[in-house]
Chain A
Amino acid sequence: MLAYLARRLVILILSLFIAAVVLFILLRLLPGDPANALLGVGATAAQIEAARAQIGSDQPLIVQFATFIGNLARFDLGQSFVSRASVLEEIGNRMSVTLPLTIFGFLLAIVIALPLGILAAVKANKWYGGVISIVSQLGIAIPVFWLGILIVTIFAINLRLFPSGGFPLKGWANFGEAATAMVLPVCTVALVIAASLIRYVRAATLDVIGSDYIRTARALGASFPEALVRHGIRNGAVPVVSILGIELATTFLGAVVVEKVYAFPGLGSMLLLAIQQRDYPNVQGVLFISTLLVLLIGFGADLLQRAIEPRLRGRRSEP
């Protein structure tokens, strides 16, 4: 088990390294001198030199890269070109918006998808089982931002039940307002992810119901519900957990997109603004942290899967 952990950790760090390399290459492929873009037309030569020194674009590429990697390892993400604020600090602030949105959205999605997916499988031959299945098929074709626009229009603008966007300036210090502002975005994200999760839960449940070990259990005297609970839940969880990691990462990205619908001051808006303003440290920082999060989620999901599935633990098995 320890050997596997060590190996997985190495792969994680390697992936991060590759991501850093890709980031470095892409952001320096940008045409034009970043110093020029930063200062704009009419900058003096001295100013450009100073800017170049700050960005380090006057150093040979390999030195730039080494500095880059070194900084990343220390989580020194530099300062914003525009506001001179620490990138890491700004990301931390924005996380207080994006993280709850992601996590609650994900949890709500699971709460919606589990019962509906199981119901769709158990009652596959009844009309409501089919309806759930069709609705979830529809759901995965709906982009998250369109659902957001629709939800805002209905619940915020027409029914005036919730704010149509924005997050209180004081953040979570203003708990009531912050929580209310979170409701619609969380629901938006949750619905889209749930649509996808329902299909997996349904498929896993169908597999379990038709399985031989459930038949054995029942043939030896277990009632159907008893067999399902005792054997079905754990076996059904295995394929679902394997995609939970991906779905959580997708939720995170969905949250980033949804932030635009609700004008949320999260990572998403930070990234978009930084791209528009050519604020490289910010772009770099957000993309790097996002990648790190996505990779960590994948790592965690992997570990969870191995904990549940004894067949993955690498003990000798016989045919």
Chain B
Amino acid sequence: MKRPGLTLTIGVLLVGLHIVVGLLTLVWLPYDPTSMTGGRLARPSWEHWAGTDRLGRDFFTQVMIGSRIALIVGIGAVAIGGVIGVTLGILAAFATKLLDDALAATLDILIAFPTLLIAMLVVAASDTASLFTAILALGIALSAIVARLTRILAKRVLLLDYITAARTSGASWLAIVFEHVLPNIAPTLAVNFALQFGLAVIAEASLSYLGLGAPPPNASWGRLLQEAQGTVYTAPIGAIAPGIALVSLAIGVNLLADGLRELTDPSKRGRA
């Protein structure tokens, strides 16, 4: 079907675009995000590439900031989920049978709760909606999935012969984890992280859309879409631009994940 490498290239390009925009927002923005000088709900023009929102703020600026927020959310959630999940997974892989069984059962139960539900739970529990709460919530939700995957992969690796060889030659368990287990499971985990990045960004967008996310100036695309819904007839760009940005990042990340998978497991090529 697709040439191997094409998926990866398109994925990298799309994600790279958002990274560039996100980094750019740290040093330059077309307009001050809070300045309301543009006239309300103006159409796209040379001065305002995506028009303005209902308070007169430049919309393109807000979409750009959205890239930065989305990247922060994705990286943050995956980082938190990854650190917690991998640690738990490795511990479970080494644990005694009883403890491991209990952990496995708990993980299965946690995974049965969809990510969004857990995230809503955590956000509902915190007093103020903020970016950090959302990232924390998503990270916790993702960690269960990472933990289960790590546990299965790590256990498989620990059964391999060269681990026994390393032990008999005197290597400590800690050394084995860092020198053998982690490098071995890293490729599969990486593909998983890429997919979860996409899930986290979409989930945060959903949270923001529902009003449980961070308010401006940390407004994510979801929040922009929520605000745009009321004025979609008069200013459709408000509902279209953030959506396209969101979808482009999500597709980019998914293609990246697929491309990575092709790289790390050639037997799966042609099964896209």
Contacts and interface: CB of A to CB of B under 8 A. Distances in A.
Contacts of A270: none
Interface string A92-108: 00000000000000000
B121 A23 contact: yes
Contact of B114 (A130, A140, A294): A294
B239 interface: yes
Contacts, number: 115
Q: How large is the interface on B (under 10, 10 to 19, 20 to 34, 35 or more residues)?
A: 35 or more
A169 interface: no
Interface string A137-167: 1101111111001101100010000000000
Interface string A106-125: 00000000000000000010
Contacts of A29: 125
Nearest to B116: A253
A144 B210 CA distance: 12
Interface in B238-256: 239, 243, 246-247, 250-251, 254
Main secondary structure of the interface of B (DSSP, over half): helix
A250 B232 contact: no
Mostly, the A contact residues are helix
B225 A31 contact: no
Nearest to A207: B271
B112 interface: yes
A260 B223 CA distance: 13
A152 B229 CA distance: 10
Contacts of A150: 239, 243
B236 interface: yes
Contact of A149 (B112, B121, B239, B250): B239
B104 to A, nearest CB: 12
B124 interface: yes
B158 to A, nearest CB: 23
Contacts of B254: 137, 140-141
B117 A283 contact: no
Contacts of B1: 124, 130, 133
B243 A149 contact: yes
A11 B127 contact: no
Nearest to A259: B210
B271 A206 contact: yes
A260 B125 contact: no
Interface string B88-127: 0000000000000000011001001110110011111111
B31 interface: no
Nearest to A18: B109
A143 B272 contact: no
By Cβ-Cβ distance, the 3 closest A-B pairs, closest first, are A141-B250, A26-B125, A146-B243
Interface of A: 11, 14-15, 18-19, 22-23, 26-27, 29-32, 124, 130, 133, 137-138, 140-146, 149-150, 152-153, 157, 203, 206, 246, 249-250, 253, 257, 260-261, 268, 271-272, 275-276, 283, 287, 290-291, 294-295, 298
Interface of B: 1, 105-106, 109, 112-114, 116-117, 120-127, 198, 202, 205-206, 209-212, 222, 225, 228-229, 232-233, 236, 239, 243, 246-247, 250-251, 254, 271-272
21 contacts: A11-B105, A11-B109, A15-B109, A19-B113, A26-B124, A29-B125, A32-B127, A143-B222, A144-B206, A146-B247, A149-B229, A149-B232, A149-B239, A149-B243, A150-B243, A153-B233, A153-B236, A249-B114, A257-B206, A287-B120, A287-B124
